[in-house]
């Protein structure tokens, strides 16, 4: 993906690239919530944001920074990576002289990106970030991430399938934007087909 297709302003692109390097420094290893997840959410945000008429600069920054505190949460150093990530993002963006109202917009999007925990996203950019984060849990990538997580935590196939039914299959109906709903439909169908197939094989189908 060429960033200039979405962000024509050179200064804005420079800010985004600086933010990318800052965000990447928080991830020492890959995994279910590694920096590759951040990159996919970033790409989804720009595509959805362009369709929905969002502020793409705010959206780009929020998506790159949305999981910077995830490693801290996983290590037990903070309780809520969304709130801590927003705090770190505010400090970072203020140090660059970024406009206060845009800093607040980025922080709100980060604070509210988790579908399972408040606050509710109020701005278009916050809704798009939440949608993009959920979309990365559906479809082929979503299936791969579920089993990556299972490997990381010693979870068996049956437990993984329960996770699909308890969480992943519900995400399609939790999208805020029309663009995300369209994308979710195809990814959801693929996920359902995969679950049906793997259950048949578990039951002995050759």
Give the domain CATH number at 164.
1.20.58.1910
The pLDDT confidence band at residue 93, using thresholds 50, 70 and 90, is: very high
- Would the pLDDT of 2 be above 80? yes
How many beta carbons lie within 10 A of that of residue 155, not counting itself?
15
In a domain? residue 104: yes
Angle, in degrees to the nearest 10, between helices 35-52 and 10-24: 150
Q: Which two tokens stand for residue 5?
A: 């297709």
Domain containing residue 59: CATH number: 1.10.3210.10
Q: Mean pLDDT throughout 17-29?
A: 94
Number of domains in the chain: 2
pLDDT at 184: 98
Q: Are residues 86 and 186 in the same domain?
A: no
Q: Token digits for 16?
A: 């985004």
- Do 105 and 191 fall into the same domain? no
Residue 79, domain member (yes or no): yes
Check whether residue 99 and residue 42 sit in a common domain. Answer: yes
Q: Is residue 125 part of a domain?
A: no
Q: Are residues 81 and 166 in the same domain?
A: no
Tell me: do 20 and 80 sit in the same domain: yes
Q: Is the pLDDT reported for residue 185 higher than 90?
A: yes
| DSSP structural state of residue 120 | P
Residue 12 forms part of a structural domain: yes
* Close Cβ partners of 56 (under 8 Å, ≥ 6 residues apart): 6, 7, 46, 49, 50
Q: Which residue has the tokens 């060429």?
A: 2
89-93, 118-122, 133-137, 202-206: range with lowest mean pLDDT:
202-206
Q: What's the pLDDT tens digit per position in 153-181?
A: 889 999 999 999 999 999 999 999 999 99
What's the whole-model pTM score? 0.94
Residue 126 lies in a domain: no
What mean pLDDT value characterizes the chain?
A: 94
Residue 143: pLDDT over 80: yes
Read off the pLDDT of residues 69-84 as tens digits, 9 standing for 90 and up.
Answer: 998 888 788 888 999 9
Specify whether 156 is located in the same domain as 111.
no
* Structural domain harbouring 161: 137-206
Q: Give dist(CA 2, CA 143) in Å, integer.
A: 27
Q: Does residue 100 surpass a pLDDT of 80?
A: yes
């Amino acid at each position: 993906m060429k960033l200039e297709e979405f962000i024509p302003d050179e200064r804005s692109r420079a800010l985004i690239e600086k933010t990318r390097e800052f965000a990447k420094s928080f991830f020492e290893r890959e995994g279910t919530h590694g920096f590759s997840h951040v990159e996919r959410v970033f790409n989804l945000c720009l595509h959805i944001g362009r369709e929905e008429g969002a502020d793409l600069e705010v959206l780009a920054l929020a998506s790159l920074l949305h999981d910077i505190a995830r490693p801290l949460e996983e290590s037990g150093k903070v309780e809520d990576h969304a709130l801590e990530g927003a705090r770190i993002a505010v400090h970072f963006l203020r140090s660059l002289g970024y406009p206060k109202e845009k800093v607040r917009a980025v922080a709100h999007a980060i604070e509210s990106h988790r579908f399972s925990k408040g606050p509710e996203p109020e701005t278009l950019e916050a809704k798009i970030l939440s949608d993009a984060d959920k979309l990365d849990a559906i479809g082929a990538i979503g299936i791969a991430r579920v089993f990556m997580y299972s490997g990381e935590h010693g979870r068996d196939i049956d437990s993984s399938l329960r996770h699909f039914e308890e969480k992943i299959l519900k995400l399609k109906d939790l999208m805020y934007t029309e663009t995300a709903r369209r994308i979710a439909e195809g990814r959801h169908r693929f996920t359902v087909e995969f679950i049906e197939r793997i259950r048949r094989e578990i039951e002995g189908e050759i």
